[in-house]
Amino acid sequence: MTVTDPLPTAARRRPSPDPSLASDVRIAVNRLSRTLRAQKADTTVSDAQFSALALLHREGAMSLADLSRREGVTPPSMTKTVTALLDRGLLTKDGHGDDRRKVLLCPTADGDDLVTETRQRRDGWLTPRLAALTPAERKTLTAATDILRRLAAQ
Amino acid sequence: MTVTDPLPTAARRRPSPDPSLASDVRIAVNRLSRTLRAQKADTTVSDAQFSALALLHREGAMSLADLSRREGVTPPSMTKTVTALLDRGLLTKDGHGDDRRKVLLCPTADGDDLVTETRQRRDGWLTPRLAALTPAERKTLTAATDILRRLAAQ
DNA sequence: TATTGTTATACTCTATAACTATA
DNA sequence: TATAGTTATAGAGTATAACAATA
């Protein structure tokens, strides 16, 4: 992944008021991310397969080149992932119509179900733990989530 | 792992305090973690290698069994990772002393430097971006970091 | 010629099973 | 017998290079 995006202009002007905040945020985010990853317990499909399937579920059918570009892997690598999903009956592969070189990859009903169920299971670990927080803490997390998302998008 | 999932339809209907919060937190945390992980100081060391080295740097020397347990991989897998780190001069492997079956793995000066530099680089990416936020946003992140840490510890 | 997708090949990280040295 | 670590082997997932079919 390339991470050479330029800094926002404002970032070059203001001094950091709390030098330890960066470390604190980084460590907290990495630890929780690791904990969440450990809750997957999804034995049916691998991470790479689920990620590709979820993208198709979310954005609809697309070609192999588009899928590999969106997932940040090479076409040969995506061919392998797609083959595994086809073998498991989670995808269909059809002609693209206008361009006979292209294929159109689309989740099956089983594929759509798997995405929905897996997502609910992954949220399922976190949901009761968030419910155990105070309303004020949840409000803080809601606001922080938006900030974290903006940081990750840079 | 996909990190840009939209809200699950079911989550919008659930009568919890904030049904979408679990998805939002999970996605935001995973995305930022992924972005931060990409800020490596040394591209010759893989993620698995850096993760093991950073654990030894943080917690001090330990045996291969302890290291593999803490990293959540099997001993044979950790043997490979450790061998690569030894070959790169980032670790030392010595006898454990009391039990001659055990080994004691310890970062070298170069290993410690690599961890420190990588950490500074990752903080260095985040610090100016945090400085570009408003004081209220930084206050929110400070409070959220504590909550995230407690969640990760469960 | 350029693009789409596949095959061939190789490297890394992971695992299980079987081995050795020691306790 | 049990434990610590290694070696052997295999399965994913990734990559680059080379190819066929199509535009």
Q: Which of residues 52-71 of A touch B (CB under 8 A)?
A: 54-55, 58
**Partners of residue B54 in chain A, C-beta under 8 Å:** none
Which nucleotide lies closest to A96 by the C1' atom and the CA atom?
C4
Per-residue pLDDT for A43 more than 60?
yes
Structure tokens at A58: 């979310």
CB A36 within 8 A of CB B26: yes
Proportion of chain A above pLDDT 70, given as a percent: 84
Strand D: positions under 7 A of a protein C-beta atom = 3-9, 12-18, 21-23
- Looking only at the bridges linking them, the beta strands covering B91-95 and B103-107 are antiparallel
Bases of strand C lying below 7 A from some protein CB = 3-9, 12-18, 21-23
- Closest-CA distance, A2 to chain B, in angstroms, reads 8
Residues A40-73, buried b or exposed e (16+ Cβ, 10 A)?
A: eeeeebeebbbbbbbbbbeeebbbbebbbebbeb
Amino acid at A86: L
Of B62, B1, B29, B110, the closest CA to residue A49 belongs to B1
Q: Is the pLDDT of residue B6 over 70?
A: no
| Percent of the residues in chain A that have a pLDDT greater than 90, as a whole number | 58
Interchain contact A41–B (C-beta under 8 A) = no
Residue closest to sugar C1' of D8 by CA: B76
> Which positions 9-38 of B are in contact with A (Cβ < 8 Å)?
9-11, 16-18, 21-38
Least confident range from A12-16, A62-66, B76-80, B97-101: namely: A12-16
Task: Write out pLDDT tens, residues A45-62.
Answer: 888 899 999 999 999 999
Test B129 with A8 for CB contact under 8 angstroms. Answer: yes
pLDDT band at B12 (very low <50, low <70, confident <90, very high): very low
Q: B-chain residues within 8 Å CB-CB of A121?
A: none
Which has more confidence, B14 or A131? A131
Residue B103: φ, ψ to 5° = -120, 155
Average pLDDT, chain B: 85
**For A1-153, where are the alpha helices, taking DSSP H only?**
9-13, 19-38, 47-59, 64-71, 75-87, 109-131, 135-152
Rounded mean pLDDT, B124-142: 95
- DSSP 3-state of A95: strand
Confidence band, pLDDT 50/70/90 cuts, at residue A10: very low
- Residues A126, B10: C-beta atoms closer than 8 Å: no
Query: Angle between the B135-152 and A19-38 helix axes, to the nearest 10 degrees?
Result: 40
Higher pLDDT pick, B133 / B17: B133
pLDDT at position B101 over 90: yes
Confidence category of residue B39, pLDDT binned at 50, 70, 90: confident
Angle between helices A135-152 and B21-37 (to 10 degrees): 40
Contact A92, A108 (CB under 8 A): yes
DSSP B50-102: HHHHHHHHHH--B-HHHHHHHHTS-HHHHHHHHHHHHHTTSEEEEE-SS-TT-
A chain contacts of residue B24, beta-carbon cutoff 8 Å = 142, 145
Confirm whether any atom of chain D, the nucleic acid strand, is less than 7 Å from CB of A76.
yes
In this prediction, residue B9 carries a pLDDT of: 35
pLDDT in tens, B47-95: 899 999 999 999 999 999 999 999 999 999 999 999 999 999 999 999 9
- Name the pLDDT band for A96 (thresholds 50, 70, 90): confident
Contacts with B66 (C-beta within 8 Å, 6 or more apart), sequence order? none
Residues A107-123, mean pLDDT to the nearest whole number: 88
- Tell me if A14 and B145 make a contact (CB, 8 A cut-off): no
The answer to whether the Cβ–Cβ distance between B21 and A145 falls below 8 Å is: yes
Tokens of A120: 């609910």
pLDDT higher at A5 or B136:
B136
| A132 exposure class (CB count in 10 Å sphere: 0-12, 13-18, 19+) | exposed
User: What are the pLDDT digits (tens) for A121-141?
Assistant: 778 889 999 999 999 999 999
Decide if pLDDT at B106 tops 60.
yes
Read off the tokens for B153.
Answer: 């510890």
The pLDDT of residue B15 is 35
Confidence of residue B5 (pLDDT cuts 50, 70, 90): very low
Alpha-carbon distances of B79 from B56, B87, B90, rounded to whole Å: 14, 12, 14
Between CA B77 and C1' C9 the distance (Å) reads: 24
Helices (H) and strands (E) in chain B, counts: 7, 2
What does the pLDDT read at residue A18? 64
Strand C at less than 7 A from CB of A69: no
Per-residue confidence at A17, pLDDT binned at 50, 70, 90?
low
Q: Nearest residue on chain A to B123, judged by CA atoms?
A: A22
Q: Is the CB of B64 under 7 A from strand D?
A: yes
Mean model confidence pLDDT for chain A: 84
